[in-house]
Amino acid sequence: MSILLLNLRQVPDDEAEEVRQLLQAHSIAFHETPASRFGISAGALWLTDDSRAEEALTLLAHYQNSRRDAARAALAQAQADGQAASFGQLLRREPLRVIAALIVIAALIALCSLPYFLLRG
């Protein structure tokens, strides 16, 4: 039985390619299911050899930890350089988008809390 290694939903192409290369470098057999045409299924990487599941999952965990650490370091560097976008910068750059998003958020909160106020009184 195949074991799911990585669901490819919202996974960047470079990350998926690095995982494929990592598995191939360690001679771990896997197969890939493609994404569906209508976006119902995003595709995935599956382990075909169950006996190497622990090794593959450990490799994947180490890879994801190193990728997370690299992303955090890049964000910290961007913040130190003053290049990371803050809320204020985003508000100045795209005021209509930010205000529209805040209005939608407020409307959703009001809609979700409406039953509470209607049933309370």
Is pTM beyond 0.95? Reply is: no
What's the pLDDT score for residue 39?
76
Does 23 lie in the same domain as 77? Answer: yes
Q: Token match 């992303």: residue?
A: 71
pLDDT, one tens digit per residue, over 84-106 is 888 888 899 999 999 999 999 99
Q: Do residues 120 and 62 both lie within one domain? A: no
SS3 at position 44: strand
The contacts of residue 4 (CB under 8 Å, 6+ apart) are: 44, 45, 46, 47
pLDDT of residue 120: 84
Phi, psi of 78 (to 5 degrees): -65, -40
Q: Domain total for the chain?
A: 2
Same domain, yes or no: 44 and 57: yes
Do residue 80 and residue 90 come from a single domain?
no
Residue 82 confidence (pLDDT): 80
- 30 and 63, same domain (yes or no): yes
* Segments forming the whole domain that contains residue 111: 86-121
Predicted pLDDT at 55: 94
